[in-house]
Amino acid sequence: MLTMVPGRQRIGVIGMKRIGLVGMVVAVLVLSACSAEVLTLDVGTCFDDPEEFDLVDSSDVPIVECDVPHDNEVYANRDLQGDGFPGRESMASSADEVCLAEFAPYIGTPYVDSIYEFSWFVPSEESWDQGDREVICFAYDLSFAKITGSINGIGQ
């Protein structure tokens, strides 16, 4: 099970240019622990939003070719350390740090100057207990427009 928290809910990291859009995204995506699969998305993978932002499993994340219009692109993956589940707030803080640090090297511009927003998938307590430690960072257009092509090095 993985949890996604949209970037617009992280006011402290977002900055003033993004505050007007905070209320637009309130969904939380939770990938079902019932699945034996742990969600893995490689860096450079493009995908569309699932049809519903409630309980879905990893097969509900529609992976698409980056050269067709899509919603999101994975730009970083990093495993977190630790034996015990760090808790939801600590997990969110760690994901923010990872995704913010990896944003500019992949996109080609600092986060505060970008037209892209980031969000992440993180392990749930259940998947953590099964050995899942991966934070998956992905970016999407701040205006929610579809992206065509990769954003790797795009500089926007």
Condensed to tens digits (0 to 9), the pLDDT of residues 34-46 reads 343 567 789 999 9
| Amino acid identity for residue 5 in this structure | V
Contact 118, 95 (CB under 8 A): no
Higher pLDDT, 108 or 121: 108
> Can you tell me the mean pLDDT for 102-113?
97
β pairing state of 55-56 and 29-31: parallel
pLDDT, averaged across the chain: 77
Residue 103 lies in a domain: yes
Residue 153 lies in a domain: no
| H-state helical runs in 2-153 | 11-14, 88-107, 125-129
Q: How far, in Å, CA of 39 to CA of 31, rounded? A: 8
Residue 78 lies in a domain: yes
Query: What digits encode the pLDDT tens for the residues 29-79?
Result: 334 333 435 677 899 999 998 776 544 445 568 899 999 999 999 999 999
Please state the domain count of the chain.
1
Residue range(s) defining the domain that contains residue 52: 2-141
Residue 152 lies in a domain: no
Return the number of other C-beta atoms located less than 10 Å from residue 32's C-beta. Answer: 18
β pairing state of 134-141 and 29-31: unpaired
**What's the DSSP call for residue 147?**
B
